[in-house]
Amino acid sequence: MSRFYITTPIYYVNAKPHLGHAYTTIVADAVARFHRALGEETYFLTGTDEHGDKIVQAAEKTGEAPGAFTDRVSALFKDLWPRLDITNDDFIRTTEERHKACVRAILQKVYDAGDIYFGEYAGHYCLGCERFLTDKEMVDGKCPDHQTAPELISEKNYFFRMSKYQGWLAEHLHRHPDFIRPERYRNEVLSLLESGALEDLCISRPKSRLSWGIELPFDANFVCYVWFDALLNYVSALGWPDGGKFHKFWPAANHLVAKDILKPHGVFWPCMLQSAGLPVYRHLNVHGYWLVKDTKMSKSLGNVVEPLDLAERYGLDTFRYFLLREMRFGNDASFSEEALVARRNADLANDLGNLASRALSMVQKYFGGVVPEAAPEGEIDEALLELARTSLENYRGLFAEFRFDRALESLWELVRGLNKYIDTSAPWALAKAGDTARLGTVMYLVLELLRKVAVCLTPVMPEAAGKLLAQLGQEPAAANILKELTGFNGLAPGTTVAAGSNLFPRIEAAAEDKAPAPAKARAAEKPAKEKKSVPAPSSAQTGPAESVEYADFAKLDLRVGTVLGVEKHPDADKLLVMQIDCGEGAPRQVVGGLAEFFAPETLVGRQVVVVANLAPRKLRGLESKGMVLAVKKDGGLELLTPSGAVTPGSRVS
């Protein structure tokens, strides 16, 4: 049987958990659920790191002993995970005896191999990193991560001969290019190794300076350096050396970490394993930071986001979906509640929620809520099935490679395709014409492929996917992604389905939640000038605009849409209200300042480029879900259009 082992970093308990911890753990949980849904025996580990200088300092600030402090804060992490629907198999603490025993045994093993020696060292010690920094690592005399000047410390300590394994590690990275993923972080480690900057690692602290740690088995006057201690949790939790879980799962080990701890996991850890005679892990998967207003989230900066608050406000499944869909794994991502609401409304309410609602209500109306039989498929059906095959296979492959945003985008190509298929097939017209056989085929294919989408979403949104499967008359526990890649007859005709679905009601933007002013006050208000409500297009730029990162540009969802209908805004002479088919099933309403340049009838049938993921807003009382792109020229305005006709909903790339 195929196996899979996923670990989060063990979280440092000097403060309570925040969004960064929640993201890593939710990713690990989704990956664990995904591999279980592939039929693999899966083990999922998380826990807390509880030794070191910072723990002692944090405990002193609260007036607690280190043991009492770590008990309390570790419990905050352990208690949070069930509330975020985390399905970890184990939770390890580095203060547990099973871990301490493993650390002492491996220390002794490495010492006996001659890879630990005693020496004196003077260096720049960063309390935040809890390690000595090399001159090459510092920037302007400061730690680049903590922006503080390290303290110059000179003391006798024990050292691990890490430099001995520099050549071996570089060769291993060249032989196994996916050992560290994404590639940019593998290259970062290779650059460090090839620069010759790898030094031996100080792995002890004298008890005269720090007593809160695991005592060295070969010298009772010293405790183990926190990083050498913490990294060993990945094998101590499996019962190394003789535990059955170690032999079963360690060959399938996948670590998940943030980029700030790349060096300990990408350099220290494989060298430690090699010295101790243990096989190295299979993959190290490295993600970026969540930024708040372009600044890294940090406890010290006070800009942390509370995960439970967001989950309770917007729904746990919306929160989980947003985290995996919004961040391109390996890159940094900006967090905002506005972006979360936009994702909820566009992807979950408009696309998936609308699809489920339409499909179930039509089956209820035309077939009494019972899955119909399917007749032989036509060309349009074969095209839909081919889209489904491609979408599902890409989803499986991309998710396995930790490319979650692209995996979900691939799945959403099928969701949008199903909405388009309904529009093109027009079940309402088939029902009116009495073509029951064709109507049954259309509705069966929609329900069957919607079921496959729900199965694939189980790792990401377990509760919502389970509800959708239940609405389709299915058992959520039976979800198996591998089975969905072959065959399109998993939904038995005659199955009773729900009469309707309302999984993801739209969430109105905060600015639109304000209560309207009293009637008298509104009447007394001076009408806003047109120019203020609808800014005129700016003239052509004479030079390049300020440059942006590609990751920022990639956040724009530009789609080609076909204008189905246009009316003048009832309360604004310069605004047109357009109904645009963007391949989403139902048309989306876009309000734009085009009336000065185009008569409504001249726009009907034209294809335009729409910014589809722009947060909805109201213009003179009517909601606009996007923006039509145009170019100002002397005496007029030109719409951005494709050079030839394309399918509505096609992405601009």
Is residue 18 flagged as an active site residue?
yes
Give start and end residues of each alpha helix (H) in 352-435: 354-367, 379-400, 404-425, 427-433
Do the beta carbons of residue 356 and residue 468 sit within 8 Å?
yes
Rounded to 10°, the helix 379-400/436-457 angle is 0
Catalytic residue selected from 78, 146, 207, 248: 146
Distance between CA atoms of residues 190 and 172, nearest Å: 10
Is residue 271 flagged as an active site residue?
no
Q: What is the DSSP string of 602-635?
A: HHTT-EEEEETTSPPEEETTEEE-SEE-EEEETT
Residue 9: is the preceding peptide bond cis (ω within 30°)?
no
Catalytic residue selected from 296, 555, 568, 632: 296
Contacts 24+ apart (CB under 8 A), 185-190: 185/259, 185/262, 185/266, 185/284, 185/286, 185/330, 186/266, 188/262, 188/266, 189/262, 189/263, 189/266, 189/267
Catalytic residue selected from 54, 100, 102, 126: 126
Distance between CA atoms of residues 569 and 584, nearest Å: 24
CA distances from 557 to 347, 398, 502 (A): 12, 20, 25
- Rounded to the nearest 5 degrees, what angle is found at the Cα of 398, between the Cα atoms of 395 and 382? 30
Q: Which residues contact 225 (CB under 8 A, 6 or more apart)?
A: 130, 131, 201, 202, 203, 204, 205, 213
Distance between CA atoms of residues 53 and 50, nearest Å: 10
- Per the structure block, which two tokens stand in for 242? 């003789």
Specify the pairing of strand 295-296 against strand 131-133: unpaired
Q: Tokens 């499909």 correspond to what residue? A: 359
Specify the pairing of strand 558-568 against strand 290-292: unpaired
Do the beta carbons of residue 7 and residue 250 sit within 8 Å?
no
Give all strands of the β-sheet with 204-206 in edge-to-edge order.
204-206, 219-224, 215-216
CA distances from 616 to 28, 541, 619, 625 (A): 32, 27, 10, 5
Is residue 582 flagged as an active site residue?
no
Distance between CA atoms of residues 182 and 331, nearest Å: 9
Strand partners, 258: 287
Catalytic residue selected from 54, 99, 143, 569: 143
Closest CA to 585 of 420, 470, 435, 455: 420
- Report the SS3 class of residue 243: coil
Do the beta carbons of residue 607 and residue 646 sit within 8 Å?
yes
CA 57 centroid distance within chain: 33
Is residue 146 flagged as an active site residue?
yes
Phi and psi angles of residue 315, each rounded to the nearest 5 degrees, phi first: 100, 135
- Please list the active-site residues: 18, 21, 126, 129, 143, 146, 296, 299
